[in-house]
Structure 1
Amino acid sequence: MSARDIILQVMQVLAVLVLAPLLQGIILQFEERVQRARGPGIFQPYRDLWKLFHKQIVVPETASWLYWTAPIVAFTAMLTVPILIPVITNYPLPLSDMGDILGGGLILTLGSFMITLAGLDTTSAYGGVGSSRAVMVAILAEPTLILVFVGITLLAKAMLPFVVNHLLVAQPAVYWSPTHLFLVAAFFVLLTVETDRLPIHSSTHIEVYMIEEGRILEYSGPLLALLRWTSAMKQFILYTIFCNVLLLPWGLSYQGTALGVAGSTVALMLKFALVACAVVVVDTVQSRLRFYRYQEPLAASFLLAVLAIIGTQLS
């Protein structure tokens, strides 16, 4: 364990922490452009967080200790996952073997679970509706996410995402195999669901078919800022797994030099921009579905993940 590896480990976490609002701003800007609007600018999420951190906290009378604990636990969970995945380097760093890809998925689920409990804790009508809808979606989304991770593990014969990255870079035949393409398609559907971009609900707090915003509607001030930041980091982490492990495993630093880290950071944001364009097109161009039809794309994603697992056993 060298000092450079420790610094790189910290930089991976800081990259997720600092660049997550920028990714959110880029996605919002793309949405505005598709809708032929100007948009607030890609740095608006930073200004929103700054404003929220300087506001007063208003606590509902029915809130318990869970109201205060959920944002902190969810925020901490999002800071833990970047330790386990390839963000800027293609090789494991000192703490990367602390958990595998399934462990990272469980930590992501823990953060979402705490926010769901917080939405129910205040006994708010919107919080209850948002949490219940989130659980209904998670019934199909979470098992599918686990199946995708299992498929990735079977494909690479290892549970570390760095091994998957190396395998896809070194063997183009595996990259273009039906098993890998099924995993990419299944994860893309999950990406739209987990980042509130599936055309069944809204990511704003002014519409009745909101899910994520409904769970945190009773929050304000710094606690709301933590939850917004947590949501942006979760989106950044899922984009990182999708791009660096599955879709575009190239462009990571091989030696951890300053130039290599800077180049991998730029390459990471370019990958995110490409994926964000596809996600925004799906969310904006497609007609909005009624909520009860949420199971259709998730069922398709589940079947794709199952086909990928079957493909690994037949190959």
Structure 2
Amino acid sequence: MREVALQVAQVLTVVILSPLLSGVIAQWEERVQRARGPGVVQPYRDLWKLFHKQLVVPQTASWIYWSAPVIAFTCMLTVPILIPVLTDFPLPLSNMGDILGGGLILTLGSFVITLAGLDSGSAYGGIGSSRAVMLSILAEPTLILVLVGITLLAKSMLPFVVNHLLVAQPSVYWSPAHLFLVLAFFVLILVETDRLPIHSSTHIEVYMIEEARILEYSGPLLALLKWASMMKQFILYVIFCNVLTLPWGLSHHGVAIGALAAAIALFLKMLAVALVVVGIETAQSRLRFFRYQEPLAASFMLAVLAIAANQLR
């Protein structure tokens, strides 16, 4: 029962803390630009308001429009079961899938949102979905290569094994193969969380991508999509911190105080990564959309170099 409770705690950690992480990042971005910015709890207020608003549904919407938010949110609830969020040992349902399975579930959530953007019949939805697909042409192969590189590095497809390997063997942690994987995955985080200089996080600009796909949504369905997006960002940060970059600070025995300490340590690690992301995003100048292939091609080459370096060591 304790392990089941820990598994539930892992999912609740992602569900509850993901809006807080988004709020911190949004406030830091504004502070860097010398603006006051919203409070760190503003995402919670936004979700509360959306859940209490009325639904406005396009006449052209089909069952895809209705099911996409539920599927996307469910996918984000599933991935925390498979990865080390609070503990460094597998929990009862962690064997349902490996690291490639987790990547597939994350991709499924984005895929159904893309279909929903097309299903609404909106011009903005079509533009956002088409641009998201163009990004996926390079992002998804790179993600697969990164996951394959992690598998080859640890000789296992379980993220818990990768965590133990990097903690136990500093030589592997500082190896070129691992460092290349860290850099490649960091670029993927920028892509998947809309932090490249081709992205726009507002819904009033024509080059928006993520916001364009969900522009026709409102009320509780929009709340689910917003929450799923924040959870996806949180999950990517968990993988980056607890599996690849900072694999320390997880609970070894699964006691309550250890799980709480692991949650606090995880959020502190995320804040360090978020600070780097905000700095990079603010320092970069806005680019034309069709230059999206430059960072993604660099990430792809880093993943290839990681696999080559792993085979040569």
Query: 2: distance between equivalents of 1:115 and 1:65?
Result: 13
Query: 1: distance between equivalents of 2:54 and 2:281?
Result: 34
Query: 1: distance between equivalents of 2:279 and 2:208?
Result: 19
Task: Identify the residue that residue 57 of structure 1 maps to in structure 2.
Answer: 55
Cα deviation, 1:10-50, whole Å, max 9, x if unaligned, reads 10011111111011001101101111111111100000000
SS of 2:285's equivalent in the other structure is coil
- Select which of 224, 227, 246 maps to 2:222: 224
RMSD: 0.6
Query: 1: distance between equivalents of 2:52 and 2:230?
Result: 19
Query: 1: distance between equivalents of 2:163 and 2:41?
Result: 31
Query: 1: distance between equivalents of 2:287 and 2:247?
Result: 33
Task: Identify the residue that residue 124 of structure 1 maps to in structure 2.
Answer: 122
Q: Could you state the TM-score of these two structures normalised by the residue count of structure 2?
A: 0.99
- The one-letter amino acid paired with 2:199 is H
Task: Identify the residue that residue 36 of structure 2 maps to in structure 1.
Answer: 38
Query: 1: distance between equivalents of 2:230 and 2:157?
Result: 26
Task: Identify the residue that residue 239 of structure 1 maps to in structure 2.
Answer: 237
Query: 2: distance between equivalents of 1:204 and 1:168?
Result: 38
Once the two structures are TM-superposed, the CA of residue 295 in structure 1 deviates from its matched residue by 0.2
SS of 1:88's equivalent in the other structure is coil
Once the two structures are TM-superposed, the CA of residue 123 in structure 1 deviates from its matched residue by 1.1
Once the two structures are TM-superposed, the CA of residue 207 in structure 1 deviates from its matched residue by 1.2
Query: 2: distance between equivalents of 1:34 and 1:276?
Result: 13
Query: 2: distance between equivalents of 1:142 and 1:204?
Result: 24
Task: Identify the residue that residue 141 of structure 1 maps to in structure 2.
Answer: 139
SS of 2:125's equivalent in the other structure is helix
- The one-letter amino acid paired with 1:250 is W
SS of 1:201's equivalent in the other structure is coil
Task: Identify the residue that residue 170 of structure 1 maps to in structure 2.
Answer: 168
Query: 2: distance between equivalents of 1:127 and 1:289?
Result: 21
Which aligned segments of 4 or more residues in structure 1 are displaced greater than 6 angstroms?
none
Task: Identify the residue that residue 94 of structure 2 maps to in structure 1.
Answer: 96
Task: Identify the residue that residue 70 of structure 1 maps to in structure 2.
Answer: 68
Task: Identify the residue that residue 190 of structure 1 maps to in structure 2.
Answer: 188
Once the two structures are TM-superposed, the CA of residue 208 in structure 1 deviates from its matched residue by 1.2
Query: 1: distance between equivalents of 2:136 and 2:79?
Result: 19
Query: 2: distance between equivalents of 1:30 and 1:152?
Result: 31
Gaps of 5+ in 1: none
SS of 1:94's equivalent in the other structure is coil
Query: 2: distance between equivalents of 1:204 and 1:250?
Result: 36
Once the two structures are TM-superposed, the CA of residue 166 in structure 1 deviates from its matched residue by 0.3
Once the two structures are TM-superposed, the CA of residue 226 in structure 1 deviates from its matched residue by 0.2
Gaps of 5+ in 2: none
SS of 1:255's equivalent in the other structure is coil
Query: 1: distance between equivalents of 2:271 and 2:282?
Result: 16
Query: 2: distance between equivalents of 1:207 and 1:125?
Result: 13
Task: Identify the residue that residue 279 of structure 1 maps to in structure 2.
Answer: 277
Is the counterpart of residue 253 in structure 1 residue 254 in structure 2? no
- The one-letter amino acid paired with 1:80 is T
Q: Within 5 A, what are the aligned runs for 1:150-169? A: 150-169=148-167
Query: 1: distance between equivalents of 2:128 and 2:214?
Result: 8
Query: 1: distance between equivalents of 2:161 and 2:228?
Result: 27
When the two structures are aligned, how many residues end up with a matched partner? Answer: 313
Cα deviation, 1:125-162, whole Å, max 9, x if unaligned, reads 00000000000000000110010000000000000000
Query: 2: distance between equivalents of 1:18 and 1:260?
Result: 18
Query: 2: distance between equivalents of 1:129 and 1:281?
Result: 29
Higher mean C-alpha deviation, range 235-244 or range 197-206? 197-206
Query: 2: distance between equivalents of 1:26 and 1:208?
Result: 26
Query: 1: distance between equivalents of 2:266 and 2:36?
Result: 25
SS of 1:72's equivalent in the other structure is helix
Give % identity.
Answer: 77
- The one-letter amino acid paired with 2:283 is V
Higher mean C-alpha deviation, range 54-63 or range 204-213? 204-213
